[in-house]
């Protein structure tokens, strides 16, 4: 390809690469299949006990509490309800579908843990040669006072919240750590007749930030 915009012929080099993936289409839920009768997706509230039984029977992830694993599975199922990967009873049984979703969640958790361990090892490794300092010792990072407190030490915050019985706040932190959209997080925190609004999410986030400050003072 040639470019004449500057008055002189110049060669433009295009770097090959994979095209950016489009965000998956978000479908409404609840909904029915094309036949107008078959319900698509899984009602996590109605099927909660069945999901718990399947998880307890087949799945364990080292270093992850069963309650935390279940939370990730709930969020994954709710997320899939709004995609074309939602459960279709014409194609697979409920048990098989939940098993596959839970299995993928476990695989992702294991990969995430390995990646975190690898990153921690690389950070803690000696800088090189006879220099025994680590990368954390070498780089002088200027502290950003405007950094959102919620983005720091999310895992530790969640553990502290659970220890203090702040279950709703801990569930929010867990859902936020999953990286899903605010709509999915809001739906994941809605149970039974309790519906979580955007304002409630903002209030919960503010409470989490207050709790973090309290932990910092008491530490």
Select, from the ranges 69-73, 137-141, 176-180, the one with the highest average predicted confidence (pLDDT): 69-73
Long-range contacts, 71-76 (Cβ 8 Å, 24+): 71/171, 71/174, 71/175, 71/188, 72/105, 72/109, 72/174, 72/178, 73/98, 73/101, 73/102, 73/105, 74/44, 74/48, 74/188, 75/175, 75/178, 75/180, 75/184, 75/185, 75/188, 76/101, 76/104, 76/105
Q: Is the pLDDT higher at 142 or at 206?
A: 206
The whole-number pLDDT of residue 2 equals 43
| pTM listed for this prediction | 0.52
Q: What is the pLDDT of residues 81-102, one digit of tens each?
A: 999 999 999 999 999 999 999 9
pLDDT digits (tens, 9 = 90+) for 52-80: 999 999 999 888 889 989 999 999 999 99
């Amino acid at each position: 390809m040639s470019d004449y915009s500057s008055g002189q012929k110049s060669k433009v080099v295009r770097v090959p690469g994979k095209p950016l993936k489009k965000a998956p289409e978000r479908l409404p839920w609840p909904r029915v299949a094309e036949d107008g009768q078959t319900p698509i997706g899984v009602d996590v509230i109605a099927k909660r006990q069945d999901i718990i039984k399947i998880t307890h029977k087949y799945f364990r992830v080292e270093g992850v509490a069963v309650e935390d694993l279940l939370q990730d599975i709930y969020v994954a199922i709710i997320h899939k309800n709004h995609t074309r990967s939602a459960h279709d009873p014409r194609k697979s049984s409920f048990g098989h579908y939940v098993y596959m979703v839970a299995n993928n969640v476990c695989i992702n958790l294991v990969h995430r843990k390995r990646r975190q361990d690898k990153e921690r090892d690389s950070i803690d490794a000696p800088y090189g040669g006879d220099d025994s300092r680590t990368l954390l010792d070498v780089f002088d990072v200027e502290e950003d006072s405007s950094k959102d407190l919620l983005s720091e030490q999310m895992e530790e915050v969640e553990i502290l919240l659970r220890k203090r019985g702040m279950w709703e706040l801990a569930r929010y932190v867990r859902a936020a750590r999953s990286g899903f959209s605010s709509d999915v997080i809001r739906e994941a925190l809605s149970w039974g007749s309790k519906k979580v609004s955007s304002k409630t999410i903002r209030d919960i986030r503010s409470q989490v930030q207050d709790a973090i400050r309290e932990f910092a003072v008491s530490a």
